[in-house]
């Protein structure tokens, strides 16, 4: 079996669902259930004998050690993180605690557990750390995409905390020999994405008749990766990645934010036209840019393709259509995740 941390969040939940569906191997899911952790994401596997949920914090080293001793996983996949840039600007403390202190305590517990294993089990054990392209900083329009050797230049408390966690993972391999793998992914999108991020926020606000807030001029460029493709990349790296290596995971879909918003509006015009016959893009509202907003991210995922044979299955066109349709088909999920605290946050963050 494997231990997944942060498996009730957006990417983690998709990974757990796909893992059980495609691999069939039992999973223990450790999640703190902060605002973005949602057990409803995993409702379809409640009662599945192969799945165990444990509420807990990766920063609680004692709890992690207990779980490792009880379940004896052959691998740990670490999704647990605070991951929203805007929230890190307003309140960085949680990001330092979870992403740095939490990763350290998780690594310490795993190091002790790994050292207790029989030689054959130590050889096959893996610790896979899921990180982000934001650790590399920002690119100009003419710069080559981030590859695995790009210098770390984080520009927000969030990306700095993830960079620190990446360095800790590397250090535990170099110092203690812990068999680690790290993946740095581009912007994910897809089902179960908490509606504070760009794509789900645009869909949710559009359907509610609210403004579609776009930072600055909307020309910030990101590479977009469908979450199911990200999950398949993680499975492949876990299966065959070189111990100690880093693999960048990207969708080969560089687009400015405003183009993403226009695409969503056009899909909604087709799939769920406004009752008044007007276009959703009329709801677009430009708001003041956030501090330190990186201009461009781009991932060079050729190493993952050349060494492990992975490429994304979805184009942006196919993936975004599936995503918008999922939100249209799941209004109850949207209603239930939009708590009062969420509404207060959106109101503060996008105030004109």
Residue 49 included in any domain? yes
Domain coverage including residue 140: 2-187+226-252+293-313
**Tens-place pLDDT, residues 200-255:** 999 999 999 999 999 999 999 999 999 999 999 999 999 999 999 999 999 999 99
* Structure confidence at residue 344 (pLDDT): 60
* Structure confidence at residue 63 (pLDDT): 97
- Please state at what angle helix 257-271 crosses helix 316-329, rounded to 10 degrees: 50
* Structure confidence at residue 341 (pLDDT): 55
* Structure confidence at residue 36 (pLDDT): 73
Catalytic position from the list 136, 158, 215, 280: 158
pLDDT over 60 (residue 111): yes
Catalytic position from the list 31, 57, 134, 254: 134
Residue 303 included in any domain? yes
Residue 88 included in any domain? yes
**Tens-place pLDDT, residues 154-186:** 998 899 999 999 999 999 999 999 999 999 999
Q: How many CB atoms lie within 10 A of CB 352?
A: 8
* Mean pLDDT value across residues 118-127: 98
* Structure confidence at residue 1 (pLDDT): 97
* Structure confidence at residue 345 (pLDDT): 47
**Which pLDDT band holds residue 16 (cuts at 50, 70, 90)?**
very high
Find the DSSP H helices in the chain: 10-22, 61-71, 85-90, 93-95, 103-116, 119-124, 157-176, 198-207, 227-240, 257-271, 302-308, 316-329, 331-337, 340-349
Cα–Cα distance, 144 to 146 (Å, whole number):
7
**Which pLDDT band holds residue 342 (cuts at 50, 70, 90)?**
very low
Structural domain count, the chain: 1
- Is 134 annotated in the active site? yes
Averaged confidence pLDDT in the chain: 93
**Tens-place pLDDT, residues 37-72:** 888 899 999 999 999 999 999 999 999 999 999 999
Cα–Cα distance, 260 to 281 (Å, whole number):
11
* Mean pLDDT value across residues 284-289: 93
**Tens-place pLDDT, residues 51-60:** 999 999 999 9
pLDDT over 80 (residue 290): no
**Which pLDDT band holds residue 339 (cuts at 50, 70, 90)?**
low
Percent residues over pLDDT 70 in the chain = 95
Comparing C-alpha atoms, which of 43, 32, 27 is closest to residue 9? Answer: 32
- Is 25 annotated in the active site? no
Residue 340 included in any domain? no
**Which pLDDT band holds residue 352 (cuts at 50, 70, 90)?**
very low
Give the domain CATH number at 14: 3.40.50.720
- Is 158 annotated in the active site? yes
Residue 78 included in any domain? yes
Residue 109 included in any domain? yes
Catalytic position from the list 82, 133, 196, 314: 133
Residue 139 included in any domain? yes
Comparing C-alpha atoms, which of 220, 208, 298, 207 is closest to residue 260? Answer: 220
Q: Which helix (H) or strand (E) holds 256?
A: strand 254-256
Residue 194 included in any domain? no
């Amino acid at each position: 079996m494997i231990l997944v941390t942060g498996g009730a969040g957006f990417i983690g939940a998709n990974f757990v669902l796909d893992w059980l569906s495609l691999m069939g191997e039992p999973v223990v899911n450790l999640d703190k259930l902060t605002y973005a952790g949602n057990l409803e994401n995993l409702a379809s596997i409640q009662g599945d004998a192969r799945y165990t949920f444990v509420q807990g914090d990766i920063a609680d080293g004692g709890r992690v050690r207990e779980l490792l001793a009880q379940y004896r996983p052959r691998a740990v996949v670490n999704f647990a993180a605070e991951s929203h840039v805007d929230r890190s600007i307003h309140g960085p403390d949680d990001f330092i605690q979870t992403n740095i202190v939490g990763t350290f305590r998780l690594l310490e517990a795993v190091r002790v557990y790994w050292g207790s294993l029989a030689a054959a089990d130590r050889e096959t054990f893996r610790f896979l750390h899921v990180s982000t392209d934001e650790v590399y900083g920002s690119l100009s329009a003419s710069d080559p995409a981030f590859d695995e050797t790009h210098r770390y230049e984080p520009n927000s408390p969030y990306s700095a905390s993830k960079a620190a966690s990446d360095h800790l993972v590397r250090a535990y391999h170099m110092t203690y020999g812990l068999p680690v793998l790290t993946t740095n992914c581009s912007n994910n999108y897809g089902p179960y994405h908490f509606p504070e991020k760009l794509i789900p926020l645009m869909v949710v606000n559009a359907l509610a008749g609210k403004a579609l807030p776009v930072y600055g001029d909307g020309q910030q460029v990101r590479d977009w990766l469908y979450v199911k493709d990200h999950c398949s990349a993680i499975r492949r790296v876990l299966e065959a990645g070189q111990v100690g290596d880093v693999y960048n995971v990207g969708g080969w879909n560089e687009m400015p934010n405003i183009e993403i918003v226009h695409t969503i509006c056009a899909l909604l015009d087709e799939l769920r036209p406004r009752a008044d016959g007007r276009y959703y893009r009329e709801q677009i509202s430009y708001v003041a840019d956030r501090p330190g907003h990186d201009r461009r991210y781009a991932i060079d995922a050729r190493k993952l393709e050349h060494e492990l044979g992975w490429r994304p299955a979805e184009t942006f066109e196919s993936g975004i259509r599936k995503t918008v349709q999922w939100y249209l088909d799941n209004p109850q999920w949207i209603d239930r995740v939009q708590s009062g605290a969420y509404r207060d946050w959106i109101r503060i963050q996008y105030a004109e």
